[in-house]
Structure 1
């Protein structure tokens, strides 16, 4: 379900967000609240009996869609909620769709499972390096990987989208 007024459910969503992502991969409460008021930011949720079980926070930018945060309550993982949320967005856009993931390593098997999850949905892990810009002033950029929906892209092809993501999501020119 697309949440037309995400501000009204901010605390509930922020709780899941905070539990699901390490500090380096999330904004401060105030920073995330500001994002909720951005006209390009969207939230989709799955709820049951008035409780949010999963959410997808993403950006519907002029040139692309950027999936930023997908999270499910720990007790609800493995039930297909994340898949449903991503598929809803994919069905509703004609734009290129991108997301960031941690580099896949043997030392952290979750990274491989996460990449496989998105591959099953039609995303491709691209081979070029990418830096996620800091979400808080005190943070440093993080080395991540870009996944693209439908087909792989080259670094040169992604560059125009990267500039848009950097500018509109991270506030960096």
Structure 2
């Protein structure tokens, strides 16, 4: 998604820009470096006329785009930025995959409704996202996809990619 106009700007953060500071321990830092150096990983700042409004972190491979994180600043929510980012990703003509918390409270139900209004469908497969940190356990999430549901075979391929590519970069 190399798109530069008044709305989106694409930027891959250079690994040296990731600071250890008081943050991650060295094995986490090396995982962050590996992720940022991966050609399938995209760290994209979302700007409107040069003003930062959010970001999207995603993995893109042959037929899919896995949206690992999409957020906008609280003060610009409900202004269409999230929908515009998703529309830009749709232009790749690949299946978009993302995970959300189960819709058990107002915020998680609103989030699910947003993705449904953007054309995403909930998939019926039990999904436990692996932990990002050693010693933590995975947590249940709902897999949503665009432009519709995916088959069990497609889900299994995504789960393999998540474990073997995404999470492997975080821990090895």
Regarding TM over 0.5, the answer is: yes
TM-score norm. by structure 2 comes to 0.77
Aligned residue pairs total 154
CA distance in structure 2 between the partners assigned to 1:30 and 1:52 by the alignment = 27
Q: How large is the Cα RMSD of the aligned pairs?
A: 2.6
Does residue 148 (structure 1) correspond to residue 155 (structure 2)? The answer is no
CA distance in structure 1 between the partners assigned to 2:160 and 2:63 by the alignment = 10
Question: What does residue 69 of structure 2 align with?
Answer: 69
Q: Which moved more, 1:151-160 or 1:93-102?
A: 151-160
TM-score norm. by structure 1 comes to 0.77
5+ long unaligned stretches in structure 2: 1-7, 19-27
2:168 alignment partner, SS class:
coil
C-alpha displacement of 1:60: 0.5
Query: What pairs with 1:97-108 in structure 2 (closer than 5 Å)?
Result: 97-105=96-104, 108=105
5+ long unaligned stretches in structure 1: 12-27
Instruction: Please say if residues 56 and 86 of structure 1, whose CA atoms lie closer than 8 Å, have aligned partners that are also in contact.
Output: no
CA distance in structure 1 between the partners assigned to 2:161 and 2:111 by the alignment = 25
Does residue 6 (structure 1) correspond to residue 13 (structure 2)? The answer is yes
Superimposed CA distance per residue, residues 62-114 of structure 1 (whole angstroms, 9 cap, x where no aligned partner): 341101100111222221111111110111x2222211111111xx1111111
Query: What pairs with 1:149-168 in structure 2 (closer than 5 Å)?
Result: 149-168=146-165
Runs of 4+ in 1 over 6 A off after TM superposition: none
